[in-house]
């Protein structure tokens, strides 16, 4: 696996940390094998040569920039988040706060065309066209990656995951995040301890930085993230002994970052891991990110695939529908390990397995 290194400075030490990169121009079999290894070891991978047209990315970025530059009263017309819509600082329904504003949209074209009327009052048709084309391209990338995961895992039905994102009732979302600049933060010597938000958006493990989007795992199957050229994304390494180390992933606006979600962890019986991650809002320039969250239809039953259950890998999760999982997740804080609520009872060998909807 190609591993990129990054040197990170924490309060105690300077260390070299690593994260995986897969190039989609490599031979498919090799890329699939490395993709699976990355999803097993990190739950995360940077993908280059992904084939999503630059023009679609640039248009989506421009629409986000146009929206976030509107006066607050205009942006509020697309809010409050229900959870969909425009939100500022408040994330979810349970008191989580971050230094960001965002637009959270369903990926369904008819939802987008309705919502566009409040997001881009001057030209809602243009806005819908740009978002729909971006979603189409990124969904295709997600499906290609999921098929490669199916191949790399040696599944008989290699399309078992991608089919869920192609279902007409799929519950995939798209999110545009905008993290405001933090003036003075990039100066030599830094002033990372200064926090104009009055310390509200910090946690003990932030290393003195300002939290844009707090620690969490993504609940869906797979997330496809990209950002502008401003750093901020960090992933938590899966080191059980010390609670993990935050690995800063440098921004690369021409790459996509793939994040394994809770539903894929459950379907692979824990073989692929949903990575905990967060976004810092530490830069003197605004950071923007766009995330596609690939999700199944609400009625889809998520359950470990039979091929993933073996004598040395007994069933780890109960079967649940995506609607049941969403209900649980919206009742919990951002940082909750929500998949733990669905752990199988150790003595229960009788639950049916497979995917149905
Ligand atoms: C606090 C919350 C926000 C969130 C729903 C939740 O109750 C727990 C999961 C959060 C999350 C994280 C990844 C995505 O950004 C998101 C859209 C999702 O599906 O789960 C958010 C939810 C949200 O902002 O509504
Ligand atoms: O902005 C980022 O880099 C991370 C955003 C994120 O994790 C999310 O929207 O779920
Ligand atoms: Fe996330």
Residue 206 phi, psi dihedral angles, 5° rounding: -80, -10
Distance 166 CA to ligand 3 centre (A): 21
Average pLDDT, rounded, for the chain: 90
- List the structure tokens of 83: 């959870």
Give the pLDDT confidence score for residue 206 in this predicted structure.
55
- Cα 342 to Cα 182: distance, rounded to the nearest angstrom: 39
Instruction: Give the pLDDT band (50/70/90) at residue 323.
Output: very high
pLDDT(71) > 50: yes
pLDDT(118) > 80: yes
- Cα 110 to Cα 117: distance, rounded to the nearest angstrom: 12
Give the pLDDT confidence score for residue 349 in this predicted structure.
58
pLDDT(17) > 80: no
Distance 176 CA to ligand 2 centre (A): 9
Residue nearest to ligand 1 atom 22, measured at CA: 92
Distance 338 CA to ligand 3 centre (A): 14
Residue 179 CA: nearest ligand 2 atom is 1
- Cα 69 to Cα 63: distance, rounded to the nearest angstrom: 10
Cα 136 from chain centre: 17
Residue nearest to ligand 2 atom 7, measured at CA: 278
Which tens digits make up the pLDDT trace of 223-281? Answer: 999 999 999 999 998 765 567 899 999 999 999 999 999 999 999 999 999 999 999 99
Residues 6+ apart with CB under 8 A from 38: 1, 20, 22, 44, 45
**Ligand 2 lined by 276 (C-beta under 6 Å):** no
Give the pLDDT confidence score for residue 192 in this predicted structure.
36
Q: At what angle do helices 54-68 and 124-152 cross, to 10 degrees?
A: 130
């Amino acid at each position: 696996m190609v591993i990129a290194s990054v040197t990170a400075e924490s309060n105690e030490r300077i260390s070299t940390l690593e994260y995986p990169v897969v190039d989609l121009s490599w031979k498919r079999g090799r890329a699939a094998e490395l993709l699976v290894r990355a999803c097993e070891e990190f739950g995360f991978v940077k993908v280059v040569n992904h084939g999503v047209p630059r023009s679609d990315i640039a248009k989506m970025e421009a629409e986000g920039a146009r929206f976030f530059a509107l006066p607050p009263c205009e942006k509020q017309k697309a809010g409050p988040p229900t959870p969909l819509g425009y939100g500022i600082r408040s994330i979810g329904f349970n008191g989580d706060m971050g230094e960001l504003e965002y637009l959270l949209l369903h990926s369904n074209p008819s939802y987008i065309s309705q919502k566009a009327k409040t997001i881009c009052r001057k030209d809602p048709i243009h806005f819908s066209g740009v978002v729909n084309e971006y979603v189409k391209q990124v969904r295709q990338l997600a499906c290609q990656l999921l098929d490669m995961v199916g191949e790399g895992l040696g599944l008989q039905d290699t399309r078992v995951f991608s089919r869920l994102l192609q279902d007409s009732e799929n519950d995939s979302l798209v999110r545009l995040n905008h993290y405001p600049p933090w003036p003075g933060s990039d100066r030599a010597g830094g002033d990372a301890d200064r926090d104009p938000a009055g310390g509200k958006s910090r946690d003990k493990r932030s290393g003195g930085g300002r939290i844009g989007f707090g620690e969490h795992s993504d609940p869906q199957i797979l997330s496809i993230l990209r950002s502008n050229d401003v750093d901020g994304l960090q992933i938590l390494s899966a080191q059980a002994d010390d609670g993990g180390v935050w690995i800063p992933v440098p921004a690369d606006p021409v790459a996509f970052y793939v994040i394994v979600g809770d539903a894929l962890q459950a379907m692979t019986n824990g073989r692929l891991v949903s990575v905990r991650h967060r976004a810092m809002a530490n830069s003197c320039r605004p950071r923007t990110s766009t995330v596609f969250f690939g999700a199944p239809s609400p009625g889809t039953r998520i359950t470990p695939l039979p091929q993933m259950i073996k004598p040395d890998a007994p069933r780890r999760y109960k079967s649940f529908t995506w609607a049941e999982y969403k209900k649980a997740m919206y009742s919990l804080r951002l940082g909750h390990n929500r998949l733990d609520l669905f752990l199988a009872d150790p003595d229960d060998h009788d639950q049916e397995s497979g995917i149905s909807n």
